[in-house]
Amino acid sequence: MTDHHYVFDGTKEQAELDRLRLLESSFDPKARQRLENVGVSDGWHCLEVGAGAGSIMNWISEKVGSTGTVVAVDTDTRFLLSSVSSNTVIVKGDIRTVDLGRSRFDLVHGRYILLHIPEFASVLEKMLLLFKPGGWLVFEEPDFSAARCLVGSEDALLAFDRVTSAVETITKP
């Protein structure tokens, strides 16, 4: 396993929180719809991988209620600890190495997390051991290879291409 540093490690606290909140405001509505579609509800036991600033962790926690549970794993838990419900456990750890047992979860969900892990295939294999028979694995990951900026100044187009190719190098082992 290669040594892994999350690309945004060391980002100033407010800047990182702003970035995570932007992700949430852009992607939460569709994420919630997807999770509604798989049926997340009372009594489910769920794992949220790379929980970030916690909006989906909190939403799942409400959906599963007092008879369900949420385990939220992140290497950086500073934005998660302020609003933890009684059915939620925050685990500070690296998803590649943290021990989460086997066959426990009705749902394993992650968003914009595998993108940051060069060994994403082995993480996915590990995730396959974590959910119960009939459980759901839901990962929402971007495909930057398809990203194109169609309008804007020449400088903006170049900047967009530079950012896109930088992002694409993140997952190269």
Interface contacts to ligand SAM, rule CB under 6 A? 4, 6, 20, 23-24, 50, 52, 73-76, 94-96, 111-113, 116-117
CB of 146 to ligand SAM, least distance (A): 18
Nearest-CA neighbor of 96 among 162, 9, 1?
A: 1
Nearest-CA neighbor of 79 among 69, 89, 66, 90?
A: 90
Nearest-CA neighbor of 89 among 35, 104, 141, 103?
A: 104
Contact between 11 and 19 under an 8 Å Cβ cutoff? The reply is yes
Taking the least distance from each CB to ligand SAM, the nearer of 19 and 157 is 19
Taking the least distance from each CB to ligand SAM, the nearer of 51 and 64 is 51
Please, which residues have CB within 8 angstroms of residue 16's CB and are 6 or more apart in sequence? 8, 79
CB of 51 to ligand SAM, least distance (A): 6
Taking the least distance from each CB to ligand SAM, the nearer of 52 and 135 is 52
CB of 126 to ligand SAM, least distance (A): 11
Taking the least distance from each CB to ligand SAM, the nearer of 96 and 104 is 96
CB of 89 to ligand SAM, least distance (A): 15
Measured between alpha carbons, how far is 108 from 101 in angstroms, rounded to an integer? 13
Contact between 62 and 42 under an 8 Å Cβ cutoff? The reply is no
CB of 155 to ligand SAM, least distance (A): 26
Taking the least distance from each CB to ligand SAM, the nearer of 4 and 104 is 4
Q: By Cβ distance, which residue is nearest to ligand SAM? A: 52
DSSP 146: G
Contact between 107 and 38 under an 8 Å Cβ cutoff? The reply is yes
